[in-house]
Every structure is written in C-alpha cells, then in structure tokens.
C-alpha cells in the first residue's frame, strides 16, 4: 500500500488537529490560532470571507510535493474529524479540463494511490463522478457511499447562473428533494424555480417559487466538503460568492503559491518547504544553473550534461535514462522546433529516434512509457508546457533557448526536472541534482529569471539562495559524447547579479573594492542602466543601487529582493555542510527493558509497549448528555468536554428508540473507529462493551441517543483512552528511567547523525542582519532577529569552544535530535559540536518557564542523558541571567570549562 512521506503525514495530522479543535471549540479562529502556535508559525489572523462557521484553510505544498494524494487523504480526515459522517460528499475543484479528466481517471482506478485511501477509509463504498455524470447520483447513494465529484471551478463560477448545467433544473434530481419539508434547515439556502426555468424546461406556472431540482441545490442540501486544487486561482470575490451558493461544510485548498494579500489571502494552515521535499527525497536539489550567451552553446552543454548523467546512471541500483527537456521558440521565433531538432541531429549527431516532439500538433509522447528500458527517448522538444499531469522523473536537464522571463511555460517545465526518480535518493550525487541551461539575450540575467520562476513555484527567498547554484559553461565539445565519467563540475561561476536601473548609480560614495565589483552598461534602446555586480554586496553598495532604482515601489522592492537573495546565496555556499564538513554524532537515550536494550520512546515505555485498557474503569464518570441546538457535553469527572453536534435535517427526540440497531452494532462501529496500535483489539472490544453497557444503564440514555451522537461519543472515548495512556506512560517513564533499578545506557547502536544533505527546515527562516559564522547549515529555522533565543544563538556562535552549531528542528522524523519525555519527545533548541570533540546540547528557557513542570522534566532527562555519556555529551538549560548574575554566554562557557576540568580530574 502507498505510504505518505513524513511531511505529508504531518500535513494530514495538522489538518486532523485543526478540524478537531474547530469542532470542539466551536471557534474556527481559536482552532486556527492554536494550530499555528503548535507549529511555531507566525500568529496570523484567521479571515472567514463571509463563510462564518465554515473552516476555510490552505495547504502550501511546493511543486513536486504530492498535493493530489494529500487531497485524497484530506477527505477521509475531514469526514472523521469534522463532518461526522460515514460517507461524505466532496466537490473537488481543479483549474482546467485537462486536469479534471486526469483526476477523474486516477480516482476511478482501483489501486491508484489517489483512490487507495478512499477505498480503505470508506470500505470500498466510493462513487467517483465527473461533473458531466452527476445525474447518476441516486438518493440511495447519499449516506451509503463516499461521493467525489470532480469539476473545474469555471463550471460553477458565474454571476448569472442561468444557462449553466450545474445550476439548471433537471428532472433526474427530483427524487433527492421528495422528503424536503417546510421546516428543513437547508430550505432557506436552496435556489427556487424562476420564470426562466419555467420557460426553458416547460414547467407549469405552479412550480414557480418551489425548490429547483438542480445539482447546485443537491450540493447545498448536503453541505459538501470542497477541495480546491491550485487555489491561488480561486481567491476572487466571485469565487467566494460561488462557493457560498453550495453552502460547504468545509473548504480545503492546495497550492504551491497561495495568495497572501491582506484583502483576499488564504488562511495557510501548513507549509511544506523545498528543504523538506529534498530531505524526503521527493525532488532533486540543488539546481545547477548555467547561463549561455547563445542558444547553440546552451543546447551543446545540455547534451554534455545529459550524457554525463547517463554514465552516472549506469552505476545506479535502478534503471534511469536521463532525459533533457528543451524549450524552443514559436514559429515566428529564431530557434523553432525544426531548427532545434536539426541542430541536435546534424551538428551534435543525436540519433533521430532518441528525440520526441511534444507540441500542440506533434504529440510524439502519446502512448509512450518513458520508464520502459526499451524506450529510446532522451530528448523532448516542446514550445509550451507539457500536458498537465505529465510526469517523468527521468527528466533531469531543462534547456530554454527563449527568454525565460517571457515564458509562462518555463515554470512548469522546470518543475518537471525537479522530481526525483522513484522518490529515492540516488547513489551518485550528480543524479540528486537538477540542471538548467538557459540562453540569454542582451543584458538578461538568467539567475534572476530563474529566481522569479522558482518563487512562483513555491520556493522561499532563502530556499532559492540555498538551492540555486550558478556554474560556468563548459569549455568545448570534449565531453559531448559522454566519454568523460568525471562528476559534473565545471568551474563555478562567480556569484553575480544583474539589475536594471532607470539612472546611473552614484559610485562616488563607494570605496575601491566596491567599485571593482561593478560592470555598468548603458542600454540606449531601452533607456536603462544595466549593472552587473560580482561578489557580496555591502550595505553601502546596496544603498547606492537602491537610490538609483527610481520612485516606483514595485521596482525598488524587486531589486532589493534580488540583492538580498544574491547575498544569501553567497552565505549559503560558505556553510560547513556545503563544504562537506562533518558535524558529529549524538547518542540517543536507551535503557534495558526486560533485559533488552531499547531506544526509549513514549510509545514503548508502557509494559510490553501496550496500553492495558482492562486495568482501567470502562466508564465515563458522571456521564450525561446535555444537548442544545449545537452542542453535546460529556462530563468525565476530572474534565468536561464539549463537542459540536453535526447539523441535523430534522429534530429527533432523544428519548425515543427510533433506530433498528443493537448494542453489538454500536460496539462494532466503535471498534472500527477507535482502533489504536498500542491497544489489543480484543481489549478494545471488551472495554467498549463494558462502557456501552454502563451508559445504557443511565436514565435517559438509549441506543438512538448513542447512534445519533456516535462521533462525539467516539471522540469522548478516545479522549478517555488518551488519559489512561498518559497515566500508563508516566508510570512507565518513571520506572524505566529514574527508579533505582533503572539501567540506562548510551549505545553506539542508537546514535543520531546530522547529515550535510538533510536539514528539512521550514519557514520562517532567519533573515536578520547579524551573520552567524558557525551554523552548520545555510538555513536557520524559526529564529527571529531579536529576542532571548536570538541572543542565546549569538552567544553560542561567539564561543571559541564551539566549532559548529545547529538550530535543532522539531518533529522532523529523521532530521531532529530528541530526548524522551513521558508523553512526548523533547527537541532541545541548539546542538553544538565543540572543538574538543564533545557534543553540547543547549535548551534556552525564559524566566516565565524556567521553573515550571515542563522545564523540570526536560532538565531531568537532559541531565540523565549527559550523566550517562562518559563525559562526551553535555546538557545545559540556559537562562537570560542565572542566580550568580551570569549571562547566557558566561553560563555556557563556564559549564564547558568546568566539565572539562572535572573530566581531567577523573582521568588523573
């Protein structure tokens, strides 16, 4: 079965957490704020855009991140955590008809990753329909099948609904509205039959003002979940009005480049970084960019690069045939498809059968399986974007002979070469990279143009700086036929940036070295000054250039961004990780459990790694149901939990047994809904049986009440099990680590190593003026340019005893160092490699937190870890000022020195 990558699972977990909070709190704003805070993301205000109590959130996933499979998983998550339904209705909106048809095909195909999760979650009771097939929906399908309808947004997005099939009267929908009464809660939302409907459908005048039998009304009746693909195209007032017409229960967006404006920006709930995709082996980074002064050289070096990669691929464990994508100019251009093909075959002697043309008229890729070893294709020539959904991870080299900045298709083509073959890091390092050869004309700047495209694909500025590398062209044709098996490493081009200014900058304020960095040319035709800057740009030089940028704010901001990325790129290549330096290893905390050495995790500190539910009472103490129009309250003794009830179409008296169900039906459903990896199924069934039997003994509680509110009941039982789990973990944690009989060990069998290629940082990144000299990686996650943690980082960076340090990541699978707590994992703030070979872990605590229970638990486990390291590891919980008046730097330095003296005295 298909498995989600770590970042994808974190995205779904975040959605689950948010929707659960939104339902429990009955406040989407509070749920959104808390979910951002738990991810250490900036505190952004939630904007409802008139959708009131309908969750409307966005997932920012860069190109190549698997947005569509996440959307499939989101349906099951929303159904379970928010919609409270066994079988939801989902309207899946895509930007184009091509994507619509491809999505329909994938979701209808059994075993396809997009369909697989739906079948598993809804017991194979899934109905996938194209928008043209919606009249096939039968009343008996509603509530018995998970229904997914795929449509373009354009099918729905209109000011005037007349003449659109989605909103049109259709007699096939009549049975769906047979049971609508005048008291139905959705009646007010439904469009009524108008004069135009009577004329167009031959209805009698008596139908005027009655509910219209339309697909849009069918959706509004059942309040669907809405999935929006490429959501940056769906943030207009017209779109909002369109979605409101069908009264969704929730709206979930997916896009690489969300709208972030203050007027109609998306509520970004989760952001995947390019670094995470690289770490999860989804994309090839860095991108090696080579700029060429003519198109022939660009194509020649593309062939050289592809041939070298083909030699590398012979040493890979899997079959890979590197492919180059070449973007030609249109028919009115100089380098057309025919010209490019002729140059490849006649001048560079490329075999005709290894070239495929993919344009509107020539579709030579149709029907080809590019992954088949017998397929000869090595070069694909196109003009515009390859058809949407085209995906071959063998594409490694992007070559454009046209101006990239003027090509809306270059962004899509570049995205094609980023995908990693088989989503797995390759053995030969050159096969883990992407390559771009760009032909530029006049004063164009390929790096700037590619930067624009990468940012449009969802990259952050700091990620562009870290992952875009400029490289000099090759010297000639010696490697044209792939006989040289050396790594692809022509001379690295000096870091340069080209900017266009409306007037000459004042260079009189610059010193000699700064003036030498400049090459200034006047473009008389366009009446601009072209400035090429080489090397790192000082503040004085940057100020001089911006002063000549004119008065247009947009131009000035664009130039400032390019200068900023240029400097960040230079800094990135100075990092120890980029230089191939090693950081060191940290042992993980282990203990002997039943005479076996085990890594201590919250999941395995309970007896045999299992929660024995039968050791705890199967009762919701002081249980009662207090139902209002929208709430469901369960008193659990030590805490009261309130849940939001799914909106009901009709009022039901809870005191009447109206449903033909048995206790066993309820217990079986709870068993399916509550299965957990650390609880035996037999124990779960016994626990649920006892709990349901106990509930039914209470006055006013019957099976109808439990079935009607089965989802809130399941969440209450899940919370009760969670409380019992925490008790068991606390007891196991204390016994395993801190009892007198505990056997702690730090073993070579369980160590964590920071890999130079694996630091999946997420925005926000550090962008302050202070330049850290010793951070191991080029990116620094979640460090503001002011505040106590920032001062702690500066103090660490300044210590002569520190060789390198790392801002530790939180919950990043195999890219974080952690220590166990009773109920979670502890991710210390900073990890330091000392010059004497030892490792130092620093956790910073502000005065408000230094003495609380959380800090005490972290200090205890940190000290325990260090104590058992044979003096090779140190742990300190630093504060702004300790009891002796020492600042952070003095605390850490003194601790390092004292530990060294203590170690020396023991050795004597």
pLDDT at residue number 65: 87
Q: What is the mean pLDDT of residues 837-843?
A: 96
Q: What is the mean pLDDT of residues 779-792?
A: 92
pLDDT at residue number 445: 67
**Cα separations in angstroms, 468 against 65, 274, 435:** 18, 12, 10
Q: What is the mean pLDDT of residues 853-869?
A: 93
More confident site: 650 or 788: 788
Cα separation, 753 vs 806, in Å, equals 12
Q: In the predicted model, what is the mean pLDDT of the chain?
A: 86
More confident site: 662 or 802: 802
Instruction: Name the phi and psi angles at 141, rounded to 5.
Output: -75, -30
More confident site: 466 or 808: 808
pLDDT at residue number 349: 94
More confident site: 699 or 733: 733
The model's confidence at residue 440, banded by pLDDT at 50, 70 and 90, is confident
pLDDT at residue number 654: 40
Contact 226, 91 (CB under 8 A): yes
Torsion sign across C-alpha atoms 21, 55, 66, 780: negative
**Cα separations in angstroms, 825 against 588, 605, 721, 817:** 12, 12, 20, 10
Beta bridge partners of 78: none
The model's confidence at residue 388, banded by pLDDT at 50, 70 and 90, is low
Segment 466-502, tens digit of pLDDT: 888 888 787 655 555 555 555 555 545 568 888 889 9
pLDDT at residue number 404: 60
Contact 753, 577 (CB under 8 A): no
pLDDT at residue number 385: 62
Cα separation, 624 vs 133, in Å, equals 46
CA atoms within 13 A on the CB side of 158: 14
Segment 272-318, tens digit of pLDDT: 988 899 888 899 999 998 888 889 999 999 999 999 999 999 999 99
pLDDT at residue number 649: 39
Contact 451, 459 (CB under 8 A): no
Global pTM value: 0.82
pLDDT at residue number 205: 82
Q: What is the mean pLDDT of residues 792-809?
A: 96
pLDDT at residue number 166: 87
The answer, yes or no, to whether residue 353 has pLDDT greater than 90, is yes
Of 563-572, 623-632, 703-712, 770-779, minimum mean pLDDT range: 623-632
**Cα separations in angstroms, 720 against 627, 634, 664, 717:** 20, 11, 21, 5
Cα distance between the two ends of the chain: 59
DSSP letter for 80, please: I
pLDDT at residue number 840: 97
With a pLDDT cut of 70, the percent of the chain lying above it is 90
More confident site: 524 or 320: 320
Segment 160-181, tens digit of pLDDT: 666 578 888 888 998 998 878 7
Of 220-234, 439-453, 825-839, minimum mean pLDDT range: 439-453
Q: What is the mean pLDDT of residues 127-140?
A: 94
Residues 6+ apart with CB under 8 A from 115: 72, 106, 107, 108, 109, 126, 128
Q: What is the mean pLDDT of residues 546-562?
A: 89
The answer, yes or no, to whether residue 361 has pLDDT greater than 90, is no
pLDDT at residue number 392: 85
Segment 11-52, tens digit of pLDDT: 999 999 999 999 888 899 999 999 999 988 888 999 999 999
pLDDT at residue number 658: 47
For the stretch 110-148, what's the b/e string if a residue is b when 16 or more beta carbons lie within 10 angstroms of its beta carbon? eebbbbbbbeebbeeebbbbbbeebeebeeebeeebbbb
DSSP letter for 358, please: E
559: its two tokens: 């130039």
Segment 405-435, tens digit of pLDDT: 555 566 777 778 888 998 888 989 899 999 9
pLDDT at residue number 162: 61
pLDDT at residue number 389: 53
The answer, yes or no, to whether residue 109 has pLDDT greater than 70, is yes
DSSP letter for 494, please: P
């Amino acid at each position: 079965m298909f498995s989600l990558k770590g970042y994808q699972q974190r995205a779904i977990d975040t959605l689950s957490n948010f929707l659960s909070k939104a339902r429990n709190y009955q406040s989407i704003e509070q749920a959104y704020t808390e979910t951002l805070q738990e991810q250490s993301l900036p505190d952004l205000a939630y904007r409802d855009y008139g959708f009131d109590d309908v969750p409307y959130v966005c997932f920012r996933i860069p190109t190549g991140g698997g947005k569509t499979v996440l959307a499939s998983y989101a349906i099951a998550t929303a159904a379970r955590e928010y919609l409270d339904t066994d079988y939801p209705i989902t309207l899946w909106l895509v930007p184009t008809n091509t994507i619509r048809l491809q999505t329909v095909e994938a979701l209808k195909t059994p075993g396809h990753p997009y369909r697989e999760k739906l079948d598993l979650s809804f017991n194979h009771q899934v109905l996938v329909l194209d928008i043209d097939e919606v009249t096939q929906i039968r009343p008996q399908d509603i509530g018995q099948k998970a229904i997914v309808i795929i449509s373009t947004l354009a099918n729905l997005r209109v000011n005037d609904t007349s003449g659109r099939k989605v909103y049109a009267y259709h007699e096939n929908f009549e049975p769906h509205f047979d049971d609508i009464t005048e008291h139905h809660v959705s009646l007010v939302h439904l469009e009524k039959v108008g004069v135009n409907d009577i004329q167009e459908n031959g209805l009698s005048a008596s139908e005027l003002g009655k509910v219209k039998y339309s697909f849009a009304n069918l959706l509004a009746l059942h309040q669907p979940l809405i999935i929006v693909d490429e959501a940056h195209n769906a943030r207009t007032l017209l779109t909002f009005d369109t979605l409101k017409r069908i009264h969704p229960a929730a709206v979930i967006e997916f896009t690489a480049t969300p709208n972030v404006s203050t007027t109609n920006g998306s509520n970004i709930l989760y952001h995947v970084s390019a670094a995470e995709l690289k770490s999860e082996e989804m994309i090839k980074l860095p991108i090696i960019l080579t700029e060429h002064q003519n198109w022939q050289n660009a194509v020649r070096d593309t062939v050289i690069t592809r041939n070298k990669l083909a030699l590398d691929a012979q040493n890979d464990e899997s079959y890979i045939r590197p492919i180059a994508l070449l973007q030609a100019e249109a028919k009115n251009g100089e380098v057309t498809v025919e010209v490019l093909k002729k140059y490849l075959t006649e001048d560079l002697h490329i075999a005709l059968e290894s070239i495929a043309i993919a344009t509107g008229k020539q579709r030579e890729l149709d029907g080809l399986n590019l992954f088949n070893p017998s397929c000869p294709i090595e070069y694909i020539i196109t003009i515009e974007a390859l058809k949407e959904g085209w995906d071959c991870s063998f594409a490694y080299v992007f070559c454009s002979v046209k101006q990239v900045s003027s090509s809306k298709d270059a962004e899509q083509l570049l995205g094609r070469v980023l995908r990693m073959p088989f989503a797995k890091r390759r053995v030969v390092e050159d096969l883990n990279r992407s390559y771009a050869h760009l032909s530029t004309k006049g004063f164009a700047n390929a790096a700037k143009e590619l930067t624009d495209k990468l940012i449009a694909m969802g990259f952050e500025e700091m990620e562009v700086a870290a992952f875009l590398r400029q490289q000099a062209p090759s010297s000639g044709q010696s490697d044209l036929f792939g006989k040289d098996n050396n790594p692809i490493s022509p001379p690295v081009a000096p870091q340069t940036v080209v900017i266009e200014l409306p007037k000459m900058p004042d260079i009189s304020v610059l010193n000699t070295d700064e003036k030498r960095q400049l090459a200034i040319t006047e473009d008389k035709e366009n009446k601009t000054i072209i400035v090429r800057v080489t090397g790192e740009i000082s503040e004085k030089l940057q100020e001089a250039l911006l002063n000549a940028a004119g008065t247009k704010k947009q131009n000035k901001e664009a130039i400032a961004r390019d200068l900023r990325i240029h400097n960040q790129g230079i800094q990135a290549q100075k990092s120890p990780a980029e230089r191939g330096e090693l950081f060191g290893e940290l042992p993980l905390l282990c203990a002997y459990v039943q005479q076996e050495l085990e890594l201590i995790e919250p999941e395995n500190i309970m007896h045999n790694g299992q929660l024995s539910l039968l050791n705890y009472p199967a009762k919701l103490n002081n249980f009662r149901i207090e139902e209002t129009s929208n709430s469901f309250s369960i008193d659990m003794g030590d805490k009261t939990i309130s849940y939001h009830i799914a909106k009901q179409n009709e009022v039901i008296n809870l005191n009447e047994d109206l449903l033909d169900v048995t206790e066993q039906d309820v217990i079986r459903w709870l068993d399916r809904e509550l299965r957990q990896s650390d609880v035996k199924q037999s124990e779960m069934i016994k626990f649920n049986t006892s709990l349901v039997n106990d509930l039914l003994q209470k006055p006013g509680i019957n099976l109808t009440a439990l079935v009607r509110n089965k989802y809130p009941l399941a969440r209450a039982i899940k919370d009760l099990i969670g409380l019992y789990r925490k008790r068991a973990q606390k007891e196991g944690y204390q016994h395993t680590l801190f009892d007198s009989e505990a056997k702690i060990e730090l073993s070579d069998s369980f160590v964590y190593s920071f890999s130079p290629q694996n630091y999946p940082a997420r925005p926000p990144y550090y962008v302050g003026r202070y330049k850290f000299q010793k951070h191991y990686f080029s990116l620094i996650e979640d460090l503001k340019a002011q505040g106590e943690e920032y001062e702690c980082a500066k103090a660490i960076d300044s210590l002569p005893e520190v060789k390198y340090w790392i801002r530790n990541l939180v919950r990043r699978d195999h890219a974080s160092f952690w220590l166990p707590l009773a109920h979670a994992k502890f991710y210390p703030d900073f990890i330091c490699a000392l010059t004497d070979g030892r490792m130092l872990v620093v956790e910073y605590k502000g005065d408000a937190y230094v003495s609380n229970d959380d800090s005490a638990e972290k200090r205890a486990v940190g000290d325990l870890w260090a104590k058992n390291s044979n003096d090779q590891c140190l742990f300190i919980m630093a504060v702004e000022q300790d009891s002796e008046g020492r600042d952070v730097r003095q605390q850490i330095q003194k601790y390092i020195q004292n530990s060294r003296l203590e170690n020396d005295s023991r050795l004597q």
